[in-house]
């Protein structure tokens, strides 16, 4: 990618997008950050970036967002954790409008490079039925049977990027994110993912004195989790690299949800009773990233440990909870 010109971060008001905007601004890049949410609801506001509220599902809004831009990072989507995805399949699929209209606008504006943030939810469900899952290689997305709703939208949008490159010459790059977590992310309200949800539950259990939490599923379902700093570095490497086909971007360390709870318990310094909700949405039984192609292509793979990343995430969520609700916490302690 060129070091000059304006960089557009679509979805800049979100978790990953906000971090990316901050990192690009730190590097001295001119950044335009766009999101459909009111600015008061953005996860982060970067003072050195141009920030705009635009609904990128609208073609005219995409044209305005891309005007004068050199590079596009499309991280915009209506999504959340498994609870949100399974209950909002149509809403998730409507995000296809964002990528479609952004691609059209990027082509019309002669954008040099277009990055699309896809997801591990594109992988065929039949390859994720066992907790001891074989790490997923990029080719495992086909024959296609991805996560219903959200996964189909991501896979379709990947193909759209491919055909815009092949048919029109727009340089597109795609990364498949695997469970990104870290500070400044959603930790409550239904859109949070497992690391943030477990941190919040254990923090609330510790503050209330009731050392008990609900765990979705039986706790033996498995995932890999990637810390935000690894995601940012890998995203920029892939966006600026030569890989034409989608690449996995995720940790290859497989853990059960119970092991995730173990780590957060250690950080909190408490043990909690676990109530298993086997009727809660849990998605596939197991999912892990095969980083063979990523390492061969980039000479790099995510390396920040889950313990390191969760410690930072726990500390941030703890500060948010304590700073906003001292009275409620005091009441829970005395109850």
301 alpha-carbon distance from chain centroid: 17
C-beta of residue 175 within 8 angstroms of C-beta of residue 235: yes
The Cα–Cα gap between 176 and 163 comes to 18
Q: How many helices (H) and strands (E) does the chain have?
A: 12, 13
Contact partners, residue 251, CB within 8 Å, separation at least 6: 178, 179, 224, 225, 226, 227, 230, 289, 302, 306
Task: Establish whether 150 is a catalytic residue.
Answer: yes
DSSP per-residue string spanning 91-124: HHHTTHHHHHHHHHHHHHTT-SEEEEEEEGGGS-
Of residues 114, 116, 123, 150, which has the active-site annotation? 150
Handedness of CA 97, 195, 224, 211 (dihedral sign): negative
C-beta of residue 249 within 8 angstroms of C-beta of residue 226: yes
Secondary structure (3-state) at 142: coil
If we measure between CA atoms, which residue out of 8, 11, 24 comes closest to residue 70?
A: 8
Which residues are identified as catalytic? Answer: 150
């Amino acid at each position: 990618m060129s070091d000059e010109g304006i960089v557009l971060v679509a979805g800049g008001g979100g978790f990953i997008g906000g971090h990316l905007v901050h990192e690009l601004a730190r590097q001295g890049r001119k950044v335009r950050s766009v999101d459909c949410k009111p600015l008061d609801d953005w996860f982060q506001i970067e003072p050195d970036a141009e920030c705009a509220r635009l609904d990128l599902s609208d073609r005219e809004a995409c044209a305005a967002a891309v005007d004068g831009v050199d590079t596009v990072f499309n991280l915009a989507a209506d999504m959340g954790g498994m609870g949100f995805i399974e209950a909002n399949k149509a809403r998730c699929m409507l995000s296809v409008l964002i990528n479609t209209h952004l691609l059209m606008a990027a082509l019309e504006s002669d954008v040099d490079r277009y990055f699309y943030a896809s997801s591990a939810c594109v992988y065929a469900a039949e390859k994720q039925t066992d907790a001891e899952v074989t790490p997923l290689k990029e080719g495992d997305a086909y024959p296609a049977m991805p996560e219903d709703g959200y996964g189909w939208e991501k896979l379709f949008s990947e193909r759209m990027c491919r055909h815009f490159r092949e048919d029109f010459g727009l340089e597109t790059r795609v990364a498949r994110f695997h469970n990104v977590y870290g500070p400044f992310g959603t930790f409550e309200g239904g859109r949070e993912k497992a690391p943030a949800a477990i941190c919040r539950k254990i923090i609330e259990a510790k503050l209330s004195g009731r050392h008990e939490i609900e765990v979705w599923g039986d706790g033996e379902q498995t995932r890999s989790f990637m810390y935000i700093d690894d995601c940012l570095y890998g995203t920029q490497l892939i966006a600026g690299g030569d890989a034409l086909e989608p690449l996995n971007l995720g940790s290859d360390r497989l853990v059960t949800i119970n092991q995730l709870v173990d780590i957060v318990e250690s950080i909190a310094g408490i043990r909690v009773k676990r109530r298993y909700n086997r009727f809660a949405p849990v998605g596939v039984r197991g999912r892990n990233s095969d980083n063979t192609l990523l390492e061969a292509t980039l000479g790099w793979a995510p390396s920040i440990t889950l313990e390191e990343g969760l410690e930072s995430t726990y500390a941030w969520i703890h500060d948010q909870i304590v700073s906003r609700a001292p009275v409620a916490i005091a009441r829970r302690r005395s109850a």
